[in-house]
Structure 1
Amino acid sequence: MKKRFFISSLILSIGLVSCNQKKEDKAAPVAMPYKVVAVTKSNTSLLAEYPATLEGVTDIDIRAKVDGYIEKIYVQEGQEVKKGQLLFKLETQTADQEASAAKAKVAAAQVEVNRLKPLVERNIISDVQLETAKANLASAKSTYQSIIARINYATIKSPVNGIVGTLPLRLGSYVSSQTTEPLTRISDVSTIYAYFSMNEKQQLDITLNAAGKSFQQKIAQMPAVNLILSNGIEYAQKGKIETFSGQANTQTGSFNVRASFSNANKLLRSGGSGTIQIPTNLSDVILIPQNATLEMQDKRIALTIDKENKVKAVPVEVRAVPGGQFFVVDKGLNVNDKILIEGVGIVAEGTLIKPELVDYATIINPVKKGIN
């Protein structure tokens, strides 16, 4: 009897232990600690980038005004020249002969006028003959001056200070005023203009954030812009936006914009390219680390912590801050929302965590680039 009681007690004990073990297996998992931060507002600057083409203050095509063969070339490609400096000389042998003949006709016409003057004064002949002689003299002088002008046009000088472009034609090439290709191009690059375009929304974002009441005041008070050269290096001189086109292009919906850059060392040349960076200063905006978000399909997601310390995925609309470490959050988060900054991409939505609150200032302050 005692043996049966002992066995029954043993079985009951084993059953209780088994039930307790199952209850322990079904108990809630332990919440793991993860770092979170309560978001607040800060100030920053964003950089909008636009591809640009570079041109000098003036880019003048040098063309021949008269026909002739290139006899001399006095400059080299890329050479810096002054206004009035000799560039080309065309062959003028035929024109020189014509000038000599025209000069002789002028002299002959002058002799005729001189011969007739005393005869008219003594009333030997009528003044009609003298007037005819004077007209012939004027015609001869005009012909001579025209030929001399043609000879002068054969000596081609630079109309401005600038840099010589390519020289597509060589010695002996025949040119005329109808030649399609210019002899060269002279570019005044003391100041470089960067031409680029932006859409209507970008134009409004920039101008609405600029100080000033009128459109011209806003342009005048816009912050300086950067020029990133084609090799990725930032140009040392800051630029200034000078003009917006008066209306949007009806086909593209874009505005043409011009910024100017000082180019005293002549580093920049016409025909080059680069990227314009326009800063937009923002005040009282929410900043979060980029690594506190993840991308799912076409959406950017931040992980917030609710009152029960459970993770919740929230879609956010963001803009990147220069430096690649922060986002400006336009939509999706509010001040004092707690977001996960550790384990993003690992912790699943709905997971219970043990939040470890990190001071927002320690997240923002170490990174100064792009922060005002």
Structure 2
Amino acid sequence: MARIIAGLVLLVLVGVAVWWFWPTEQAPMGSRPPTAVNLAPSIERPLYDRVEAVGTARAAQAVVLLAEVPGRVAEIHFQQGQQVTRGQLLVTLDDRNARAELARAEAEYQRAKDDYRRGQQLVDRRAISQSEVDTFRTTLEAAEASRDVARANFSDHTIRAPFAGVLGLRQVDPGAYLQTGDPITTLDNVGHLEVDFQIPERYLAKLAVGLPVQIRNSAFENQAFEGSITHLDSRVNSSSRSLTVRARLNNPQGQLLPGQFLRVSVQLAQRDALLVPEQAVITQGAQSYVFTVSKDNRARRHPVTLGGRRDGWVEVTSGLTDKPDVVVNGHSRLGSGQPVKVIDDPEALLPGQRVLLNSEPADDAPFGEPQPNDSAVNEAAA
């Protein structure tokens, strides 16, 4: 029995040894199955060089309405936040003393005028000398000046809107006594706003009056306000090495208010650019690559130089020609010369990328939704 068991053990050991040392069959070279990939076209679309900055909104016209003469508030003719027209009456001060002073000045002027007229008649008859007539004329001129002062003082007892706009909070109440210079309210023309912002001096050659700008504010994330550059400062700030630029923007609904923080995007230039989907680009160190597929279904790697970005697409400034289709999926471990199998996938591109793909170049708007690195120039200047 022991001899049988020993024989079985020996047989198992021999079988294991044969299996261990039996040469395995090598897979033939080049039999690696093709890699499944998705392709997307490269496209040519306008790319807009922009520079980003920040600024603070201010009304194109803005004043603090002040009392120009001392007096008690007799009547207030406006509501807080009211839209007013130019010349509209806002506040009336107690003008009884000013009215009496004006009446006295008018009477003195009329008397001096009559005296001067009679003097001219008498000098023609040689009844008085010319020097006396000159005295009458001097008295008339002084009376006229006094009358003009009284008229201005009387007019200053009524405060009117110097231009059309929106009134702010009321600072006075009826019956309050105002001193000269006391604030009454604010008036802002918010139909158009202005914003000053700083642009680095290296963009000076690209800046010009009339360049379009786009304004955004966190209170209106889904809305952009359009405007244009109206003025460039005459000198560069020696500390920040930047130029102050002023833009005027339309605000017809009065949504933006003076003092709000604004993000400003200035369109510097436009050029035609070759764009590929961002997911088509593989970056290794300082070098970027894209893959195309040859006619014999083999991958070809192209070193490329990248430029600006737009709506999920990236500009290729060198390394590609003739707008070839590029690999967007399946290329993470792909090598040049490897066989590939192209699979159509309509979902290979993101929705935002498909929008730009399906648009005509002529239909592209100068400004779209903000993107990270939206263009070749993207800089925040405080």
Q: Residue in 2 aligned with 1:43?
A: 45
Does 351-360 or 166-175 show the bigger shift?
A: 351-360
Residues matched between the structures, number = 340
**Cross-structure match for 1:90:** 93
Deviation at 1:232, TM superposition (A): 0.4
Counterparts in 2 of 1:8 and 1:124: CA distance versus 1, 3 Å: closer
Q: Percent identity?
A: 17
**Letter of the aligned partner of 1:42 in structure 2?**
E
Unaligned runs of 5+ in 2: 1-8, 362-382
> Is 1:77 aligned to 2:66, yes or no?
no
CA gap 1:200/1:50 in 2 versus in 1, 3 angstroms: same
Residues 1-372 of structure 1 correspond to what in structure 2 (within 5 A)?
14-20=16-22, 33-35=35-37, 37=39, 40=42, 42-46=44-48, 48=50, 49-106=52-109, 109=112, 123=126, 125-171=128-174, 172-176=176-180, 179=181, 182-201=183-202, 207=206, 225-229=213-217, 230-235=219-224, 238-278=226-266, 281-290=270-279, 319-322=308-311, 325-329=312-316, 334=320, 341-342=329-330, 344=332, 355-357=340-342, 363=349, 367-369=354-356, 372=361
Q: State the one-letter code of the partner of 2:245.
A: V
Q: What is the alpha-carbon root mean square deviation over aligned residues?
A: 5.0
Residue 144 of structure 1 aligns to a residue in which SS?
A: helix
Given that 2:41 and 2:276 are in contact with CA atoms closer than 8 Å, whether structure 1 keeps it comes out as: yes
Counterpart contact for 1:302–1:313, Cα < 8 Å: yes
1:181-237 deviation line (CA, Å, top 9, x unaligned): 754443334434444333244565xx3xxxxxxx76xx65x5x544334320224x6
Distance in 1 between the 2:106 and 2:340 partners? Answer: 103
Determine the C-alpha separation between the residues in 1 that align with 2:90 and 2:45.
56
**Structure 1 contact 189–266 (Cα < 8 Å) conserved:** yes
Rate the CA distance shift 1:284–1:170 in 2: closer, same or farther, 3 A: same
Aligned partner letter, 2:83: E
Q: Matches of 1:195 and 1:293 in 2, distance apart?
A: 40
Which stretches in structure 1 are left out of the alignment for 5+ residues? Answer: 1-6, 208-214
Inter-CA distance 350–360: structure 2 relative to 1 (3 Å threshold)? same
1:285 Cα deviation after fit: 2.4
The answer to whether the Cα contact below 8 Å between 1:300 and 1:317 also exists between their aligned partners in 2 is: no
1:35: how far off?
2.5
How far off is 1:136 after superposition?
A: 2.6
Whether the 8 Å contact between 2:85 and 2:164 is mirrored in structure 1 is: yes
SS in 2 for 1:135: helix
SS at match of 1:78: coil
For normalisation by structure 1, the TM-score amounts to 0.66
CA shift for structure 1 position 126: 3.9
